[in-house]
Amino acid sequence: MISVDEARSLVLALAQPPESEEIAVAEALGRAMVAPAVARLTQPPFDASAMDGYALRSSDLPGPVEVIGTAAAGEPFAGETPPGSAIRIFTGAEVPSGYDRVVMQEHVTREGDRITVEGASANLNIRLRGNDFTEGTAFRPDRALRASDLGLIAAMNVARVSVARRPRVAVLAGGDELVRPGQQPGAGQIVSSNDIAIAALAREAGAEPFILPLARDTEDSLRARFAEAEGADLIVTIGGASVGDHDLIARVAEGLGMERSFYKLAMRPGKPLMAGRIGDTAMLGLPGNPVSAIVCAKLFMQPLIRAMQGLPAGDGVAQAVLDRDLPPEGDRQHYLRARLIPGESLPRIAPFEDQDSARLWVLAEADALLVRPAHDPARKAGEQVSFIAL
Ligand SMILES: Nc1nc2c(c(=O)[nH]1)N[C@H]1C(S)=C(S)[C@@H](COP(=O)(O)OP(=O)(O)OC[C@H]3O[C@@H](n4cnc5c(N)ncnc54)[C@H](O)[C@@H]3O)O[C@H]1N2
Ligand code: MOO
CA of 241 to the centre of ligand 1 (A): 7
Q: What is the pLDDT of residues 185-214, one digit of tens each?
A: 999 999 999 999 999 999 999 999 999 999
Residue 295 CA: which ligand 2 atom is closest? 3
pLDDT score, position 327: 96
Residue nearest to atom 31 of ligand 1 (CA): 288
Contact 101, 122 (CB under 8 A): no
Percent above pLDDT 70 for the chain: 99
Find out whether 232 and 211 touch, Cβ atoms under 8 Å: no
- Minimal-distance CA residue to ligand 2 atom 1: 269
pLDDT(247) > 80: no
- Nearest CA residue ID for atom 10, ligand 1: 242
Closest ligand to C-alpha of residue 334 is 2
For residue 171, which ligand has an atom nearest its CA? 1
User: Percent of the chain at pLDDT above 90?
Assistant: 92
pLDDT digits (tens, 9 = 90+) for 293-331: 999 999 999 999 999 999 998 878 999 999 999 999 999
Query: CA-to-CA distance for 290 and 285, rounded, in angstroms?
Result: 13
- 351 pLDDT exceeds 70? yes
In short, whether 348's Cβ falls inside 6 Å of ligand 2 is no
Question: Nearest ligand, CA of residue 286?
Answer: 1
Q: Could you identify the atom of ligand 2 that is nearest to the CA of residue 357?
A: 5
- Do the beta carbons of residue 131 and residue 111 sit within 8 Å? no
d(Cα 209, Cα 308) in Å, to the nearest integer? Answer: 14
The answer to whether the beta carbons of residues 234 and 206 sit under 8 Å apart is no
- Specify the ligand 1 atom closest to the Cα of 247: 20
What is the 291 CA–ligand 2 centroid distance (Å)? 8
Is CATH 2.170.190.11 the right assignment for the domain spanning 48-127? Answer: yes
Distance 294 CA to ligand 2 centre (A): 11
Q: Kindly report the pTM of this predicted structure.
A: 0.91
What's the CA gap between 95 and 101, in Å, rounded?
8
**Separation of 118 CA from ligand 2 center, angstroms?**
72
Q: Residue 215 gets which letter from DSSP?
A: B
Q: Is 269 exposed, middle or buried (0-12, 13-18, 19+ CB in 10 A)?
A: buried
- DSSP one-letter string for 21-60: EEEEGGG-TT--BSS-EE-SS-BSSS-EESSSEEEE-GGG
Which ligand has the minimum distance to the alpha carbon of residue 270?
2
Q: Which one of 3.40.50.300, 3.30.70.1880, 1.20.1070.10, 2.40.340.10 gives the CATH number of domain 317-389?
A: 2.40.340.10
- Matching CATH topology for 4-17+165-308 and 317-389? no
Q: From the alpha carbon of 332, which atom of ligand 2 is closest? A: 1
CA separation for the pair 300, 316 (Å, rounded): 12
Rounded CA gap, 47 and 55, in Å? 12
Domains of the chain, residue spans: 4-17+165-308, 27-43+132-164, 48-127, 317-389
Counting from 1 in the atom list of ligand 1, the atom nearest the Cα of 268 is 12
How many whole angstroms from 192 Cα to the centroid of ligand 2?
Answer: 18
pLDDT digits (tens, 9 = 90+) for 363-372: 999 999 999 9
Give the E-state strand segments of 76-151 in sequence order.
85-89, 101-104, 108-111, 114-117, 126-127, 138-139
Chain-centroid distance of CA 179 in Å reads 32
**Predicted confidence (pLDDT) per residue in 5-32, tens digit:** 999 999 999 999 899 999 999 999 999 9
CATH architecture of the domain with residue range 4-17+165-308: 3-Layer(aba) Sandwich (3.40)
Which ipTM was obtained for this model? 0.95
Q: Does domain 27-43+132-164 have CATH number 3.90.105?
A: yes
CA dihedral for 239, 245, 248, 249, sign (positive or negative): positive
